[in-house]
Structure 1
Amino acid sequence: MKHSAGDREQRSEYRLTGRAKVEIELEAADPELRLSAHTVTSYTRDVSAHGIRIETAESVRVGALLNAKVQLSPEERPFELVCEVVWCEATNAGEERWLIGLRMAESEDVRFLDWIEAVAEAMAGE
């Protein structure tokens, strides 16, 4: 992954550019109605300790809190995190695609702390 100072707006931290796999849960499963979760799989455009940017075929509501699994490399287990949708905008690509900015919900949870450490290690390895 490469470092990026940001291309959408002023950012307070460096970002890594690269393709980490992201699965976001747009709707939770409902066992009573026998409905499975509605998820979307995408790849990151960039990654920081506190956020990611992805592109999908579905828009999402700004402010929504979503469960996400982020896999930085195929050899590692995905990080299971909660993300807030900070922005969602249509791309100029002619087909219906959306760029989505997700902010990781900060917590004292070990999963979040492990995520921060993994991103820091990835940045140090560049």
Structure 2
Amino acid sequence: MTEADYSFGNPDEGRPGPDNRSDYRLTATARVVLELESKAPDASGSERARDLACRLRDISARGMSLFSREPLSIGALLPAQVSLGQRSESFTLMVEVVWCRPSQSQFLVGCQVLDSAGTAYVEWVEAVAQALAAE
């Protein structure tokens, strides 16, 4: 991440409703792709997973909030690809939807980043820690 990819955020500034994260968060320029439906293991090459591209609102070591075109089910466990700013590779993460509420013509969604095998959880935590240290 570079300085242009994020800014330091005040936890409660301009946020409607309660926010349960205890970590500081960064406002980030990023794209998140959530896998809503996975491809069946025996599916032919013509079938595809159903993905949802979202715009990131902010991040912390253990969570993120994002804008979605459609509502997401609370408790849903979803694979996510997070592309942060100038970083060449995206982070492969597993997230749990913690809350979802309407916000103008879209939905604001809160997700917890889970420590899951085969994901870039450790790299994610390190990247957020480095970004916070740079602030």
Coarse TM-score class (shorter-chain normalised): 0.7 to 0.9
**When the two structures are superposed, what TM-score results if normalisation uses the length of structure 2?**
0.82
Provide the alpha-carbon RMSD of the alignment.
1.8
Partner of 1:55: 67
Q: Which amino acid aligns with 2:107?
A: W
In 1, the alpha carbon distance for the partners of 2:29 and 2:118 equals: 25
| Runs (5+) with no aligned partner, structure 1 | none
Give the CA deviation at 1:50.
Answer: 0.5
User: Which runs of structure 2 are paired with 1:15-26 in the superposition (5 Å)?
Assistant: 15-26=25-36
Say if 1:5 and 1:11, in contact at 8 Å, map to a contact too. no
Query: Shift of residue 116 of structure 1?
Result: 0.5
Percent identical residues = 37
State the one-letter code of the partner of 1:78: S
* TM-aligned CA deviation for residue 109 of structure 1: 5.5
Query: Hey, what does 1:106 align to over in structure 2?
Result: 115
Whole-angstrom CA distance in 2 between matches of 1:60 and 1:38:
13
How many residues end up aligned between the 2 structures? 123
Alpha-carbon contact 2:28-2:84 (below 8 Å) kept = no
Deviation per residue, 1:42-80 (Å, 9 max, x gap): 221100010010001111100000000011123320000
**Alpha-carbon spacing, 1:11–1:40, altered in 2? closer, same or farther (3 Å):** same
Unpaired runs of at least 5, structure 2: 1-5
TM-score by length of 1: 0.87
2:102 aligns to what? 90
